């Protein structure tokens, strides 16, 4: 079975077309086509509660291309999922209508709990897990961050928190590079978010941590000093927490021009990677405290909610997008 998953987040929209590896339509997926575009759909949503016209236009342009790719590759089923920015936007109906027109399927605005479960499923699909040894998956997005604790048996507890690289950049990190006062204000937000997560997720029980999504993969590329963005080097990389923290501090202190010059930096991530680095550094530091230093390394996965969305179509298939009229 060939399936397609689309993840429309606050900062990027991503497409995965993949084949089921098993004849009965369950199990792992084999990539056919994977693509990401940064469209910043959540531009200004934190402040206005509305999707900006130019952000919708960028997203719809990418959606046109994605729908054509899905049809050209003859995917049998498709699922389109929208997350944090769409949960916050009062004019989401305009977005929903635009996706319906282009794909012939309904966009699903999923709650944070399902976003967390899909992120865990994506990470767990490629990294071995043991029952009874909980692993924390952290999905650091543009508008929200998901904390998901689970093991081989599935999700134990999860919480989605409204803190992401776009949201924190727009709220606090306005200088180039950010000032100490701006960083301190952002850190207070992150610390409060971690405490919210702790109310539902026993982070101290984690025996390992897996980070997913673009901010964390870019931080890993920086920590490894890669000559380009190399997914094969990034995926599965296990680095000392101290090394990751140094990379985060470095990115947070760079100017916009210095970040843009890095060979692995996507142009659409330049202005928000500092906030992503701040969040990841703060989470890893707090985990160290909560676990008494038990977690000494952080694992990075290139497989995340997008893979979880595609996997979910095997269990609850949706229709093939029709040609837009």
How many CB atoms sit inside 10 A of residue 249's CB? 12
Mean pLDDT of 245-273: 96
Q: What is the pLDDT of residue 316?
A: 60
pLDDT value for 18: 94
DSSP 177-205: SPPHHHHHHHHHHHHHHHHHHHTTS-GGG
Average pLDDT, the chain: 90
Residue 274 has a pLDDT of: 97
- Quote the pLDDT of residue 85: 67
pLDDT of residue 25: 45
Per-residue pLDDT for 127 more than 90? no
Query: Side-chain half-sphere of 289: how many Cα atoms within 13 Å?
Result: 10
Indicate the DSSP class of residue 104: S
Question: Residue range 233-237: average pLDDT?
Answer: 93
pLDDT > 90 fraction of the chain, expressed in percent and rounded: 68
pLDDT tier, 125 (very low <50, low <70, confident <90, very high otherwise) = low
Local confidence band at 324 (pLDDT 50, 70, 90 cut-offs) = very low
Residue 317: pLDDT over 60: no
Residue 84 confidence (pLDDT) above 70: no
Q: Is the pLDDT of residue 325 over 60?
A: no
pLDDT at 26: 47
Name the nearest CA neighbour of 146 among 117, 170, 188, 171. Answer: 117
Report pLDDT digits (tens) over 136-178.
999 998 888 999 999 988 899 999 898 999 999 999 999 999 9
Residue 7's alpha-carbon distances to 27, 116, 222, 308, in angstroms, are: 20, 13, 25, 10
pLDDT above 80: residue 323: no
Q: For residues 49 and 53, what is the distance between their CA atoms, to the nearest angstrom?
A: 13
What is the arithmetic mean of pLDDT over 277-290?
97
Cα–Cα distance, 166 to 44 (Å, whole number) = 9
- Please state, in angstroms and rounded to a whole number, the distance separating the CA atoms of residues 75 and 2: 5
Average pLDDT over residues 220-224: 98
Residue 322 scores a pLDDT above 90: no
User: CB within 8 A of 52, min separation 6: which ones?
Assistant: 43, 44, 45
Q: Do residues 88 and 160 lie in contact, with contact meaning Cβ atoms separated by under 8 Å?
A: no
Report d(CA 250, CA 223) in Å as an integer: 9
Query: Average pLDDT in the 236-256 region?
Result: 97
**What are 6's strand-pairing partners?**
15, 80
C-alpha Rg value of the chain to the nearest Å: 19
pLDDT of 252 over the 80 cut: yes
Question: Tell me: the pLDDT tens digits for 187-213?
Answer: 999 999 999 999 999 999 999 999 999
**pLDDT tens digit sequence for 21-79:** 764 444 678 999 999 999 999 888 888 989 999 999 999 999 999 999 999 999 989 99
pLDDT at 115 over 70: yes
C-alpha–C-alpha distance, residues 236 and 211, integer Å: 10
Distance CA 187, CA 183 (A): 6
Nearest to 305 by CA among 224, 211, 238, 208: 211
**Domains in the chain, start-ordered, CATH in brackets?**
2-111+306-315 (3.30.420.40), 127-302 (3.30.420.150)
Supply the pLDDT for residue 190: 97
């Amino acid at each position: 079975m060939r399936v397609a998953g689309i993840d429309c987040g606050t900062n990027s929209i991503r497409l995965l077309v993949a084949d089921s590896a098993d004849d009965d339509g369950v199990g792992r997926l084999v990539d056919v086509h994977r693509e990401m575009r940064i469209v910043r759909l959540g531009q200004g949503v934190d402040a206005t509660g509305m999707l900006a016209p130019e952000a919708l236009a960028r997203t719809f342009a990418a959606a046109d291309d994605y729908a054509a790719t899905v049809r050209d590759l003859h995917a049998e089923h498709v699922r389109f999922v929208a997350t944090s920015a769409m949960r916050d936007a009062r004019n989401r109906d305009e977005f929903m209508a635009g996706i319906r027109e282009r794909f012939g399927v309904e966009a699903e605005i999923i709650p944070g709990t399902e976003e967390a479960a899909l992120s865990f499923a994506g990470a767990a699909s490629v990294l071995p897990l043991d029952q009874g040894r909980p692993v924390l998956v952290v999905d650091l997005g543009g508008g929200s961050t998901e904390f998901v604790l689970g093991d081989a048996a599935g999700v134990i507890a999860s919480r989605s928190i409204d803190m992401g690289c776009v949201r924190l950049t727009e709220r606090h990190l306005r200088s180039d590079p950010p000032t100490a006062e701006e960083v301190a204000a952002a850190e207070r937000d992150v610390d409060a978010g971690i405490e919210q997560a702790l109310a539902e997720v026993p982070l101290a029980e984690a025996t390992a941590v897996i980070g997913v999504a673009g901010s964390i993969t870019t931080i890993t590329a920086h920590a490894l000093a890669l000559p380009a963005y190399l997914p094969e080097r990034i995926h599965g990389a296990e680095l000392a927490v101290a090394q990751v923290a140094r990379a985060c501090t470095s990115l947070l202190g760079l100017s916009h021009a210095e970040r843009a010059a890095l060979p692995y930096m996507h142009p659409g991530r330049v202005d928000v990677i500092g906030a992503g680095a701040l969040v990841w550094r703060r989470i890893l530091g707090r985990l160290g405290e909560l676990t008494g230093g038990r977690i000494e390394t952080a694992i990075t996965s290139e497989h995340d909610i997008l893979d979880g969305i595609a996997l979910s179509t095997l269990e609850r298939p949706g229709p093939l997008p029709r040609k837009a009229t």
